[in-house]
């Protein structure tokens, strides 16, 4: 049973979560259209990055929509106490998010390998390990979160540590890919700057997930619930939307250096 | 009445099924966009394969969405026992899946005949029998599953055996088509490897369906229900999404051997 089921919420607390979740699935659907419609700004070989982002947005939209409804249907306003109290016959679950990440994480990581230039051997090794470690990180985290409010948190911690081991491995792989990509001769100072920004964005956004995961330990209160849901959503939008914007800037730059400038295309009369 | 209605579920059991079903309809919609957006990577004559996959994804998405809601609306959390118990006035049914397969199975099988090269006579024979045997396999299985929890399982077994006969025929047809396709002179060693992988994927994924079907006999417990829903979804994603990825790799390869390389297209500014 997740921590969200153990508290009653003030109108403000309840509303903030409901609004944030709703904003975020709207962001995902909006980004979906944006990514699809700007796909042709880059060379065909980089378009797969837009396609993969759309895949991520579809799944994120559907799951955040479910997540928002799970929140809204789990509480009822009590006019006596002026609080939102949990319904006796429903339970909130964060599990939808986790299984959504099973689509998103491998896809987001793979996406990177299609934009940056790597030798075929390095690219394939990265791709295989991105999928394996990415999926195992999520599945072990998913199992662990079932125990976050258990009387004895042993399994929660065991799965958290296992999940973190894969998490560190993914970080290491991303660092390798980005460092490798910087060697590409077609990438100028500006391109290297984008690659560094991708690395820092990655470092920042992905670190929010374990913090949100540990919230039942760090801050086991109604405010903790609100902060957790906000953390999840900030992480999601940074790791998915801002990440794509940066990757597509890089693809746009590389396309231009290969002689394809979308903005310069002019039809002859 | 299906076996899903005979049990109460722990929070973890209930959640896993709810999350997996939600993940899977998200995968189907994500794949829909992926298939539509990558359609132009192959020669026009192979694009029908992407179109057929989109058709499959639309139907699979809608039906799995209904299936997920059928699960969620069928049980209520009981705070006394900490279990999800069936509502007295609803019933869960797997029937949505079966009727979905009536669209998917013929489409998936036909799809193959549009990518691989076969003589016109062989292709048409395969197409007609794919549709006939595929549909009869599903319809007889559909009728049989109504009797899976009957006191006397006679009709369950009779329809299962009839369905299996068509199932074996479909396997035989697929084997023939794939063996025939390997004779194509344009297909190199790598192409033959993809065709073999398609065959093994097919062998593996389709075999999960009769196992899931027999679950009321193999493991008539709440865990059996969870395993059955997971089996159905693994089979669906393998037989539909991974299958398409392999078929489209083949189409991409054939397109290139016919002088159409999407990734090499470069527009001059």
Q: Which of A47, A59, A103 to mutate to test the interface with B (most CBs of B within 10 A)?
A: A59
| Cα angle for residues B235, A163, A199 (degrees, 5° grid) | 100
**Greater pLDDT, A260 or B146:** B146
- Domain map (residue ranges) of chain A: 3-268
- Tell me the ipTM for this assembly: 0.87
- Cβ count near A36 (within 10 Å): 17
The residue with greater pLDDT, B264 or A2, is A2
Q: What is the mean pLDDT of residues A117-134?
A: 88
Taking residues B24-36, report their average pLDDT: 92
Nearest-angstrom CA–CA distance, B242 and A8: 44
* Contact assessment for residue A133 and residue A164, using Cβ atoms and an 8 Å cutoff: no
**Residues of chain B with C-beta less than 8 angstroms from the C-beta of A1:** 11
- Contacts of residue B16 in chain A, CB cutoff 8 Å? 95
CB pairs under 8 A between A and B: 92
For residue B186, CA distances in Å to A96, A141, B244, B252 come to 45, 46, 20, 12
What pLDDT is attached to residue A85?
A: 96
pLDDT surpassing 70 at residue A233: yes
Q: At residue B268, does pLDDT exceed 70? A: no
- CA-to-CA separations, B18 to B69, B86, B92, in angstroms, rounded: 8, 14, 13
Query: What percentage of chain A reaches a pLDDT higher than 70?
Result: 98
What's the CA gap between B47 and B262, in Å, rounded?
Answer: 13
Measured N-to-C along each axis, helices B11-37 and B243-257 cross at an angle, to the nearest 10 degrees, of: 20
pLDDT mean over B239-264: 87
Q: How many CB atoms lie within 10 A of CB A188?
A: 10
Q: Which of A27, A67, A63 is nearest to A242 (CA)?
A: A27
Q: How far is A153 from chain B (nearest CA, A)?
A: 16
> 10 Å Cβ neighbour count for A263?
9
CA distance linking residue B92 with residue A192, whole number of Å: 55
- The structure tokens 């820092």 sit at A200
- B103 vs A: CB within 8 A: no
pLDDT score for B206: 93
Distance from CA of A120 to the nearest CA of B (A): 16
Segment B214-237 shows an average pLDDT of 94
Residue ranges of alpha helices (H) inside A73-151 are: 95-115, 120-145
Residues of A in contact with B32 (CB under 8 A): 58
Other Cβ atoms within 10 Å of A196 Cβ, number: 12
> Between residues B267 and A209, which one has the greater pLDDT?
A209
Which tens digit of pLDDT belongs to each residue from B15-25? 999 999 999 89
Residue-wise pLDDT for A138-153, tens only, equals: 999 999 999 999 999 9
Q: Is the pLDDT of residue A6 over 70?
A: yes
B160's tokens: 């299962």
Q: Quick one: pLDDT band at residue B259, thresholds 50, 70, 90?
A: confident
- What is the distance between the alpha carbons of residues A245 and A188, in angstroms, rounded to a whole number? 18
User: Taking residues A182-199, what's their average pLDDT?
Assistant: 89
Q: How far is B146 from chain A (nearest CA, A)?
A: 30
Summarised one tens digit per residue, pLDDT across range A53-105 is 999 999 999 988 999 999 999 999 999 999 999 999 999 999 989 888 988 89
**Percent of chain A residues topping a pLDDT of 90:** 65
Q: What is the pLDDT of residue B266?
A: 64
Return the pLDDT at A121: 83
* B218, HSE (Cβ side, Cα atoms, 13 Å): 11
**Cα–Cα distance between A48 and A50 in angstroms, integer?**
5
User: Per DSSP, what are the bridge partners of residue A77?
Assistant: A84
> Which CATH architecture describes the domain A3-268?
Up-down Bundle (1.20)
pLDDT tens for residues B48-68? Answer: 989 999 999 999 999 889 999
Nearest chain B residue (CA) to A101: B23
Contacts of A55 in chain B (CB under 8 A): 30-31, 33-34
pLDDT number for residue A82: 96
Strand ordering across the sheet containing A83-86: A9-10, A83-86, A75-78
3-state secondary structure of B9: strand
Mean pLDDT of the residues in chain A = 91
B204 has a pLDDT exceeding 50: yes
Tell me whether A51 touches chain B (CB under 8 Å): yes
For the entire predicted model, the pTM comes to 0.89
Q: Judging by DSSP bridges, how do beta strands B75-78 and A9-10 pair with one another?
A: unpaired
Per CB-CB distance under 8 Å, the chain A contacts of B33 are 32, 36, 51, 54-55, 58
Residues in B closer than 8 angstroms to A98, CB to CB, are 19
Compare all CA atoms of chain B with the CA of A142 and give the residue at the minimum distance. Answer: B16
Task: Provide the percentage of residues in chain B whose pLDDT is more than 90.
Answer: 64
Residue contact B30–A55, C-beta within 8 A: yes
Q: Are A239 and A108 in contact (CB under 8 A)?
A: yes
Instruction: Check residue A263 and give its pLDDT.
Output: 81
| pLDDT classification of B226: cutoffs 50, 70, 90 | very high
pLDDT band at B269 (very low <50, low <70, confident <90, very high): very low
| Residue A215 in tokens | 């919230």
pLDDT number for residue A123: 86
DSSP class per residue in B192-246:
HHHHHHHHHHHHHHHHHHHHHHTHHHH--SHHHHHHHHHHHHHHHHIIIIIHHHH
A219 shares contact with chain B (CB less than 8 Å): no
Bridge partners for A86 per DSSP? A75
Cross-chain Cβ contact B79/A88 below 8 Å: yes
Of all residues in chain B, the one with the smallest CA distance to A35 is: B37
Judged against a pLDDT cut of 80, whether residue B264 lies above it is answered with: no
pLDDT over 50 at B13, yes or no: yes
Which residue from B31, B265, B268 is facing A44, i.e. has the nearest CB? Answer: B265
Touching B: A residues 60-89, CB under 8 Å = 62-63, 66, 88-89
């Amino acid at each position: 049973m997740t921590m969200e089921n153990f508290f009653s919420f003030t109108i403000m607390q309840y509303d903030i979560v409901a609004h944030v979740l709703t904003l975020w699935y709207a962001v995902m659907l909006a980004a979906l259209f944006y990514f699809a419609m700007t796909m042709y700004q880059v060379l065909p070989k980089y378009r797969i990055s837009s396609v993969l982002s759309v895949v991520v947005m579809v799944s994120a939209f559907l799951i955040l929509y479910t997540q928002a409804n799970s929140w809204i249907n789990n509480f009822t306003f009590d006019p006596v106490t002026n609080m939102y109290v949990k319904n006796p016959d429903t339970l909130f679950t964060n599990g939808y998010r986790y299984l959504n990440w099973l689509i998103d994480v491998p896809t987001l990581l793979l996406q990177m390998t299609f934009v940056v230039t790597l030798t075929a051997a390095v690219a394939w090794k990265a791709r295989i390990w991105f999928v394996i470690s990415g999926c195992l990180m999520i599945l072990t985290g998913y199992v662990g979160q079932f125990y976050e409010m258990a009387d004895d948190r042993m399994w929660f911690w065991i799965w958290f540590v296992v999940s973190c081991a894969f998490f560190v491995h993914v970080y290491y792989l991303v660092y390798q890919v980005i460092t490798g990509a910087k060697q590409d001769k077609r990438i100028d100072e500006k391109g290297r700057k984008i690659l560094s920004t991708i690395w820092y964005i990655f470092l920042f956004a992905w670190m929010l997930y374990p913090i949100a995961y540990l919230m039942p330990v760090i801050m086991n209160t109604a405010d903790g619930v609100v902060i957790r849901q906000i953390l999840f959503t900030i992480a999601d939008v940074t790791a998915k939307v801002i990440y794509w914007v940066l990757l597509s800037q890089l693809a746009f730059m590389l396309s231009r250096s290969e002689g394809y400038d979308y903005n310069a295309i002019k039809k002859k009369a």
